[in-house]
Structure 1
Amino acid sequence: MTTTNCTHAKDIKKVVLGDGPISINEVIAVARYGAEVSFTREYCNRVDESRSLIDRFLQENRVIYGVTTGFGSNVTKVISPEDAETLQRNIIRSHAVSVGEPLEKEVVRAIQLMILVNLGQGYSGVRLQVLELIASLLNHDIVPFAPGDGSVGYLSPESHMALVLIGEGKAWKDGEFIPGAVVLEKAGLAPVTLGPKEGLALISGTTSATAMAALALYNGIQAAKTADITGAMSLEVLKGTIHAFDPRSHKLKKHGEQAKTARNVSRILEGSQIIDTYKDYRLQDALSLRCIPQIHGAIKRALKDAEATIENEMNSASDNPIIYPDGADGTALMGGNFDGSFVGIYTDMMCIALANLAKITERRIDRLVNHHHSELPNFLVANPGLNNGYMVPQYTAAGLLNEIRVLTQPATIDNVPTCANQEDVISFSYFASKKAYQISKKLEYILAIELMTATQAMDFHHPLKPAPITEKVYRLIRSKVPTVKEDRFFHPDIEVIKGQIHEGELTKLVELEMGEMEF
């Protein structure tokens, strides 16, 4: 199941783990919109069976990394069964060292959900009791404090979250920031004492990188669809020629996303008097208009490739060691499934794709506000000079684009060995995903500015009528953002339009009129 053809995340009220793969939309439903989390009987059985293997391993005194040994380069230190609980508590306390501003609520919730999905595969040996407590935190809207800076791929933010499970650390509940033990008591929950393997399992794996990747991907796919709408509106009000979207041209390129994008724009603009009037106004337009199918299409291809990889990672077991049910005895497989290279490389690629979408969008904004290109009043205000109009929102888009370009520097090409060189190759997938998430949110603002300026430009085309679909988009914007006749405080306008994009109101409106947009 992909984000391109399933129920909107906001409409998913319950997410049941255990019977099949989890989708991106289900992650968003839990992380952003508070959907309830529960487990199937199959999920519970898998977890219980995996835990029974850990009990067997302990009885047989098997040497297993992180269960009867220390961690990292301390793997050579044997830990007695009597010290097993202390070992697991110590790893949580000692690894909770990320710093800086706390991760956003939806990021923390997405990570918690990824932990449940990862450990619920039945290859980690944790008790069901521990996973039920994490689900309870989600369902009681308890948000553990987790500083977001300083992770090389995993471990530290997850450790801060795990502190709450043992009655330590801090968390938010109903707007209060309170100690972990107190927040559990207020919710009628009891802390757990972590047993063998459980501390390690809670903080290992790709859960934080994958969670942020899922959030970034959802935002990115929604942004790419939105860009087809905002790009179509810009083409319309800038007297662009629809001839560049002729399907005969696009079928000659062997990239399906290009032709789909051209069809999206053509369908959005059907019935436009403005488009019909100016279809032969110039021989061909600037690239930011003429190459919408090619550039938007390439971005969508990259996002679809990232989507396949991220969904694979979401539904994989990324723990170490893997507790494998190999016959009645089982075995512990010590390996590297915690490595985040798949997620990191593809979120680095997502950064590049989203930066390209920001780039073409900012160029259209400049054409909208620049009277040398738009043939409309300068900065889209009737009395320029006395009024600045939309002069400076283009500055904002340029500033955001600069920030996005800096964030597009790949994280995964770097390497700083850790743990006394035992961990000598580091994925840095955490920051790759974090960058993609940050870029996706900045991109929403750039799209909001394009939509705001294109809507204003449409006012200068009366009495020519826009396409029925773009007219509905115009009315959606004008329901919250009135026509600019003289300068006012524009920041709230940008925020409200960004909210309409972020919540999917814009794409929902368009798809109600023309059916699902092709992706």
Structure 2
Amino acid sequence: MSIQDLVDVARFGAKVEFDDEYCNRVEKSRALVEKWVAEERVMYGVTTGFGALCNKVISPSETAQLQRNILLSHSTSVGAPLTIEEVRATIFMILQNVGQGFCGARLETVELYRQFLNLGITPFAPKEGSVGYLSPEAHMALVLIGEGQAYVGNELLPAKAALQRVGLTPTTLSAKEGLVLVSGTTSVTALGALALYDMRNAAKCADIIGAMTLEILKGNVSAFDERLMSVRPHAEQQATAANVRTILKDSEIAAHFRNYHLQDAMSIRCIPQLHGAVKKTLNDALKTIEIEINSCCDNPIIWPEGEDGEAISGCNPDSSYVGIELDSACIAATALAKMSERRNSRLIDGNVSEYPAFLTGNPGINLGLMIPQYTQAGLLNDMKILSHPATIDSIPTCGNQEDYVSMGYNAVKKAGKVAENLEFILAIELLSVYQAHQFLEINKTPASAAQAVLAEIALTVPYINEDVYLYPYINNIRDLIHKQKIVKLVEEKIGKLL
């Protein structure tokens, strides 16, 4: 499975089916658990307690109660809930985790979760207070047993009523299932994948918007020359420069002003270098995320080979891989945003743009686009705070049985906010680019790719000469970025961006 598969299910409502191989892997693993329970083997989390209680043996008669108790005792995350798409992504990851064939959950349990995705029932899961896993997943799993709350569409109902609404009935969990459903990197990978998906899309938009800013600010495209890129052969730097060259190749404006400036400010001429470094970091994170999407992150794992198989206890639920990558991605996305804000500052500063101050035709009584740059500054300050890495921290839990804690969950949780802020910062830059075009005094056409973007914006955003309510216009442009409309319009004109 790819990050696109996860997003298709979580965000776009793609249906989920199990093939025969999936079912066979799950059933084979489950058969071993049932055999070992019948033999009263001592296995962590199966016939024992959890964490610091791992030395407490649980009798077969107490197994069902233990699974229920796991969910009830672990459902302690608090605050605002995860979004519907974040919960759907986490459930998708639980299905992937169990489907590797090393977890030992029953097929009927994951089948019920599959129906949640396909029928539009989404457990309510508060998002604050996880160190890597457990609590949000426990809130989700409560709905399987008829406890907690769930959304049907956008309506929040008690779990039993939600299940009844879509024609489902609660289940009773069996040995090991409580642990399977709360343990692992499932929520970390889910939230990290969604944030990374949006960051990567935003990085493509940054190339587009940066090129459009260069064009309207009469920038010098020689800074993107292929020869210049060849002597510093970072692949992402070369690709970014190629994107800008391709976007502007048919721009009459760029051709006319090619030598207007001997050298542009860093926020213009350094686009390949900064954007390239950001993409390198995001590409590295993608490799890690897609490995994690296709991993088993349970503990213990049910190893089926050998004379009678084996339950192997370790710590695959540790979320350091994804957490460290998303901490790095937050830093990268913030770097992208800081350059966008600087480009926007040049657009609205009449001293350097050579357009009216704040891109308004009647400055003084009108403030024009002065204050959106303040918004960028506030958003960027938040991003800088959120770029402090979560994964360098560790607060021991579980009576020191878990004396090291990855904090990967907090890394990916803040990454979602960083991605959203980046989209808004880019949207404000693009709003300024759009408004600047009304003041261009030469009869030269923008690049065809830029024209397509400008025409799309014009459907919902007017040229502004008198102060107006800007909030909806910023949101409209941000939606074009978030929903990949900007990238699609440009790629229809120039082909796939690198």
Task: Output the TM-score relative to the length of structure 1.
Answer: 0.95
Which whole-Å CA distance do the structure 2 matches of 1:325 and 1:507 have between them? 46
Q: Decide which of 208, 216, 220 is 2:187's aligned counterpart.
A: 208
Q: Decide which of 466, 471, 475 is 2:455's aligned counterpart.
A: 475
User: Partner of 2:41 in structure 1?
Assistant: 62
Which whole-Å CA distance do the structure 1 matches of 2:491 and 2:253 have between them? 22
User: Partner of 1:465 in structure 2?
Assistant: 445
User: Partner of 1:242 in structure 2?
Assistant: 221
Q: Does 1:517 align with 2:497?
A: yes
Q: Does 1:292 align with 2:271?
A: yes
User: Partner of 2:154 in structure 1?
Assistant: 175
Which whole-Å CA distance do the structure 1 matches of 2:132 and 2:344 have between them? 37
User: Unaligned stretches of 5+ in structure 1?
Assistant: 1-21
Which whole-Å CA distance do the structure 1 matches of 2:154 and 2:245 have between them? 47
1:397–1:446 contact (8 Å) kept in structure 2: yes
User: Partner of 2:69 in structure 1?
Assistant: 90
1:274–1:461 contact (8 Å) kept in structure 2: no
Query: How many equivalent pairs are there?
Result: 497
What is the DSSP-based 3-state SS (H/G/I as helix, E as strand, rest coil) of the residue aligned with 1:178? strand
What is the DSSP-based 3-state SS (H/G/I as helix, E as strand, rest coil) of the residue aligned with 1:420? helix
1:378–1:384 contact (8 Å) kept in structure 2: yes
Q: Does 1:323 align with 2:302?
A: yes
What is the DSSP-based 3-state SS (H/G/I as helix, E as strand, rest coil) of the residue aligned with 1:486? coil
1:50–1:124 contact (8 Å) kept in structure 2: yes
Q: Does 1:252 align with 2:221?
A: no
Shift of 1:461: 1.3
Shift of 1:464: 2.1
Amino acid of the structure 2 residue aligned with 1:480: T
Cα pair distance change 1:199/1:491, threshold 3 Å: same
Shift of 1:328: 5.2
Q: Does 1:487 align with 2:467?
A: yes
Q: Does 1:114 align with 2:93?
A: yes
Amino acid of the structure 1 residue aligned with 2:479: G
User: Partner of 1:11 in structure 2?
Assistant: none
User: Partner of 1:225 in structure 2?
Assistant: 204
String of CA shifts for 1:370-406, please: whole Å, max 9, x gaps.
Answer: 1111111000011111111000000001110000000
User: Partner of 2:127 in structure 1?
Assistant: 148
Which whole-Å CA distance do the structure 1 matches of 2:178 and 2:272 have between them? 49
User: Partner of 1:9 in structure 2?
Assistant: none
User: Unaligned stretches of 5+ in structure 2?
Assistant: none
User: Partner of 2:374 in structure 1?
Assistant: 395
Shift of 1:254: 2.2
Shift of 1:266: 0.8
Shift of 1:278: 1.3
Q: Decide which of 19, 22, 43 is 2:22's aligned counterpart.
A: 43
User: Partner of 2:433 in structure 1?
Assistant: 454
Which whole-Å CA distance do the structure 1 matches of 2:46 and 2:91 have between them? 23
Which whole-Å CA distance do the structure 1 matches of 2:35 and 2:29 have between them? 10
Amino acid of the structure 1 residue aligned with 2:290: E
Q: Does 1:499 align with 2:495?
A: no
Which whole-Å CA distance do the structure 2 matches of 1:49 and 1:465 have between them? 65
User: Partner of 2:385 in structure 1?
Assistant: 406
Q: Does 1:30 align with 2:5?
A: no
Shift of 1:271: 1.8
Amino acid of the structure 1 residue aligned with 2:355: L
Amino acid of the structure 1 residue aligned with 2:203: A
Which whole-Å CA distance do the structure 1 matches of 2:249 and 2:466 have between them? 32
Amino acid of the structure 2 residue aligned with 1:492: P
Q: Decide which of 277, 288, 293 is 2:256's aligned counterpart.
A: 277
Shift of 1:23: 0.6
Amino acid of the structure 2 residue aligned with 1:511: E
Q: Decide which of 107, 118, 131 is 1:128's aligned counterpart.
A: 107
Q: Decide which of 199, 218, 230 is 2:178's aligned counterpart.
A: 199
Amino acid of the structure 2 residue aligned with 1:42: E
Amino acid of the structure 2 residue aligned with 1:227: A
What is the DSSP-based 3-state SS (H/G/I as helix, E as strand, rest coil) of the residue aligned with 1:47? helix
Amino acid of the structure 2 residue aligned with 1:142: I
Which whole-Å CA distance do the structure 2 matches of 1:328 and 1:504 have between them? 52
What is the DSSP-based 3-state SS (H/G/I as helix, E as strand, rest coil) of the residue aligned with 1:97? coil
Which whole-Å CA distance do the structure 2 matches of 1:373 and 1:202 have between them? 57
String of CA shifts for 1:244-292, please: whole Å, max 9, x gaps.
Answer: 0111000111201111101100110112121112111111000000000
1:362–1:450 contact (8 Å) kept in structure 2: yes
String of CA shifts for 1:175-230, please: whole Å, max 9, x gaps.
Answer: 32111111111111011100000000000000001001100110011000000000
Q: Does 1:368 align with 2:347?
A: yes
Q: Decide which of 263, 267, 286 is 2:242's aligned counterpart.
A: 263
Which whole-Å CA distance do the structure 2 matches of 1:505 and 1:381 have between them? 27
Alignment identity in percent?
53
Q: Does 1:190 align with 2:162?
A: no
